[in-house]
Amino acid sequence: MRVAVLAHERFPERAKTAVGILRYADHDVVAVLDRASAGTTVADHRSDFDAGTPVVEGVADAPAFDALIIGIAPIGGGFDDSWRPDVRAAIERGADVVAGLHYFLNDDEEFARLADDYGVELRDVRRPPDDLTVAEGVARELDCEIVLTVGTDCSTGKMTTTLEMVEAARERGLDAGFVPTGQTGIVIAGAGIPVDRTVSDFTAGAVERMLRERADDHDYLLVEGQGSIVHPAYSAVTCGILHGAMPDRLVLCHEAGREAVHGYESFRLPDLDRIAELYVDLAEGVAPTELLGCALNTAALDEAAAEAALDDCAETLGVPAVDPVRDGAGPLAERL
């Protein structure tokens, strides 16, 4: 699929989705739309990106594409009206539009009418399907190995770790698929269910449904986890994913040095080995699992401190520990 990615005035630092698509998606990115840096290429911004991908002013300057993806998410998830001409032009060129905003394109009268006129699809990935049901408890019977990233907290790198592991697995010739559960991952993957927006009774069922749809296509399914099992607000989603996915193995994601729950600072994080044990015990009540490895976010540390933190973590947990951003997820993929 050829895609154009809208990232006006935010590429690359504040365009997490756009960067994720460039780095991990199977899509052929024909252009990034950013009026603030039009005339450059994406390689001018990140040296590992493809210099063949231009940054352009708007849809009019982009080569042919099948879908326009909104690659930025302002706080609050609103739609910025300055994007309207590009969305309109994309539809008029016969392209689908994909967005992970709280504002649903399908509820926008102009876009809905235009999409109808031009026979294109508006995909609001933050809206869960309305035919979800409770889990049947069959993930363990699927003919593929399931690996789930779990965390000590929110924002510890679960999506990045999962995507890096998929990439590293593919580099090693393994047939690995990515199962997204949050809106950024879904936009990157082009499909998926935002598990944190489903009816609570259907949390595990939503994950199970994605696994059933993808199990025949891959030998390994790597599931993006959410939240943490000891999070005062989000643990329901974490637990539903854990039991809906019935992972054969877990990768524990942690930010080096974080000691309290982000945004809930009065809640201390349990020790790393304690939380790992809790994940394994909780999973085992439904389907046994084991720890494959640990992904440590060491962005705040210098190289020597990062090295020491990784060693410490590996010793505590008795499994390999890597920083997938610093070093890639090779050592984790090798354990598959």
Contact between 267 and a copy of itself per CB under 8 A: yes
Q: Is 37 helix (H, G, I), strand (E, B) or coil?
A: coil
- 270 or 330: CB nearest a copy of itself: 270
Dihedral angle of Cα 135, 227, 156, 75, to the nearest 10 degrees: 110
Which stretches does DSSP call E strand in 7-91?
A: 28-33, 55-56, 67-70
Report, in Å, the least distance between residue 228 CB and a copy of itself: 8
Q: Which stretch binds a copy of itself (CB under 8 A): 26-34, 100-108, 242-250, 252-260?
A: 242-250
- Residue 157, token pair as written in the block: 């790198």
Report, in Å, the least distance between residue 295 CB and a copy of itself: 20
Helix (H) / strand (E) element for 16: namely helix 16-24
For residues 191 and 202, is the Cβ–Cβ distance under 8 A? no
For residues 232 and 189, is the Cβ–Cβ distance under 8 A? no
Helix (H) / strand (E) element for 56: namely strand 55-56
Which residue among 286, 312, 325, 331 contacts a copy of itself (CB under 8 A)?
286
Contact between 198 and a copy of itself per CB under 8 A: yes
For residues 127 and 191, is the Cβ–Cβ distance under 8 A? no
Residues in 50-89 at the binding interface with a copy of itself, rule: CB under 8 A: none
Listed as own residue / partner, the contacts of 133-137 with beta carbons closer than 8 Å and 24 or more positions apart are 133/202, 133/205, 134/201, 134/202, 134/204, 134/205, 135/202, 135/204, 135/205, 135/207, 135/208, 135/243, 135/244, 136/205, 136/208, 137/208, 137/246, 137/286
Q: Which stretch binds a copy of itself (CB under 8 A): 39-47, 110-118, 192-200, 306-314?
A: 192-200
Q: Is 326 helix (H, G, I), strand (E, B) or coil?
A: helix
Site string for a copy of itself, 108-137 (x = CB under 8 A): --------------------------xxxx
How many whole angstroms separate alpha carbon 249 and alpha carbon 257? 25
Report, in Å, the least distance between residue 272 CB and a copy of itself: 13
Residues in 209-228 at the binding interface with a copy of itself, rule: CB under 8 A: none
- Give the count of beta carbons closer than 10 Å to the beta carbon of residue 64: 10
Report, in Å, the least distance between residue 305 CB and a copy of itself: 27
- 17 or 203: CB nearest a copy of itself: 203
Contact between 151 and a copy of itself per CB under 8 A: no
Contact between 260 and a copy of itself per CB under 8 A: no
Report, in Å, the least distance between residue 1 CB and a copy of itself: 29
- Residue 245, token pair as written in the block: 């996915």
Report, in Å, the least distance between residue 146 CB and a copy of itself: 14
Contact between 276 and a copy of itself per CB under 8 A: no
Residues in 10-39 at the binding interface with a copy of itself, rule: CB under 8 A: none
Contact between 103 and a copy of itself per CB under 8 A: no
Q: Which residues bind a copy of itself (CB under 8 A)?
A: 134-137, 195-205, 229-240, 242-244, 246, 261, 264, 266-267, 270, 275, 278, 281-282, 285-287
